[in-house]
Amino acid sequence: MIYSMTGFGRGISTAPNKKITVEIKSLNSKQLDLSMRVPGYFRELEVELRNRLMHKLERGKVDLNVNVENTAAEAPCDVNIEVLLDYKKQIENAAATLGVGEPTDWFPILMRMPEALKTQLQTLEDTDIKSFWEACDEATERLREFRASEGRKLYSFFLEKARNISALLERVEPYEKDRIVKIRERLDTQLKRLTGIEYDQGRLEQELIFYIEKLDIAEEKTRLASHINYFLETLGEEDEKPACGQGKKLGFIAQEMGREINTLGSKSNDAEMQKIVVMMKDELEQIKEQVLNVL
C-alpha cells in the first residue's frame, strides 16, 4: 500500500487555563515544505516541532497552525488606562489647535490606538508544554490516517490503470503479425510499379529483412510488461501497511513505461495498433497525474 501526500489532521488538548488546538494540512510537493504559525510563548519548541514533523511526514507542502484559547476567568490583557488618558489629552490639544470639534464617541477611537491593551506576560509551564505536544501528536496522527485513507483510493486507481495498460498490450499481438505481412505486400506492390529498373533480388530480400526487423516490437512488449509488473510490485498488496517514499519510485517506473509505449507507437506502422497505443498513453497520463500525490 501507499500513502497520499494530501491530508488534514486536528489535535486538541487542554492545560490549566488554556485550550490548545493544532491543525495540519498537507498537499503534494517534491520535498517537505513546512509552514508553521505558532504563538510567541511556544516559539522555543519550534525547532523540535519541525524535526518531529520532518521525521513523521517526510514530504509535502505542510501548513501547521497552533491556536491557544484562554479559558481562565481573568482576561489575558489589561486596558492601559494611563496610555488612553494621554491619547485623549493629545487629541483634545490637537482639536483646539486646529479649531475642529472633539470626537463625540471617544471609546472606539482610543481603543484603536497603539498599546491601548497591555498584554500580560505569558510564562510557559510544564503542563502547557505537555498539552502542546499532545495536541501536535494527535494532529499528526490524524493526518497520517487521512493520508493512508487517500492512499488506499490511489492504490485502487493505479491498480486499475496498470491492468488496463496490460490488457491493451495483449490486444497488440493479433495486429503484430498481420502488419508485417501488410508491410511486405505494400513494398512488393510498390516495387512492381517500377519499370525498366533492374535490381538484385537477393540484396532486396536482405534489405527487406533488415527493415522489418527494425519494426519488430518484441523487446518493447517484454520491457513494458516488465515495467507494469514492477509498478504493481512497488504498489504492494492491498492489505499491507502503507509504505512511505514510494511516490518518486512509481514516477520513475511510469516514465520508463512511457518510453516503451512511445516506441511501440513509432514502430507500429498500423492504424489499429496506433489506436491501442493512444489508449495506453491515456491510461499512463492519468497515472502520471496522480502519482505526484503519492508520498
Asked whether 7 and 146 are in contact (CB, 8 A), the reply is yes
Cβ–Cβ < 8 Å for 184, 163: no
Q: How confident is the model at residue 228 (pLDDT cuts 50, 70, 90)?
A: very high
Buried b (16+ CB within 10 A) or exposed e, 233-268: ebbeeeeeebebebbeebeebbeebbebbebbbebb
What are the sequence ranges of the domains in the chain?
Answer: 7-73+126-146, 77-119, 150-291
The C-alpha atoms of residue 89 and residue 109 are separated, in whole angstroms, by: 13
Q: Which fold has domain 7-73+126-146?
A: Ribosomal Protein S5; domain 2 (3.30.230)
Check: CB of residue 36 under 8 Å from CB of residue 57: no
**8 A C-beta contact, residue 269 and residue 288:** no
Q: Is beta strand 7-15 parallel, antiparallel or unpaired with respect to 18-27?
A: antiparallel
133-149 pLDDT, tens per residue?
Answer: 999 999 999 999 999 99
How many residues make up the chain in this entry? 295
| pLDDT tens figures, 197-219 | 666 666 666 666 666 666 778 88
Tell me the per-residue pLDDT of 38-77, one tens digit each, with 9 for 90 and over: 888 788 889 999 999 998 888 899 999 999 887 765 555 6
pLDDT above 50: residue 284:
yes
Query: What predicted TM-score, i.e. pTM, was given to this entire model?
Result: 0.72
**For the residues 111-116, what does the mean pLDDT come to?**
75
User: Helices marked H in the chain — which ranges?
Assistant: 46-57, 81-98, 106-111, 126-192, 201-214, 218-235, 247-268, 271-291
| pLDDT over 70 percentage in the chain | 81
What is the number of other CB atoms lying within 10 angstroms of the CB of residue 107? 9
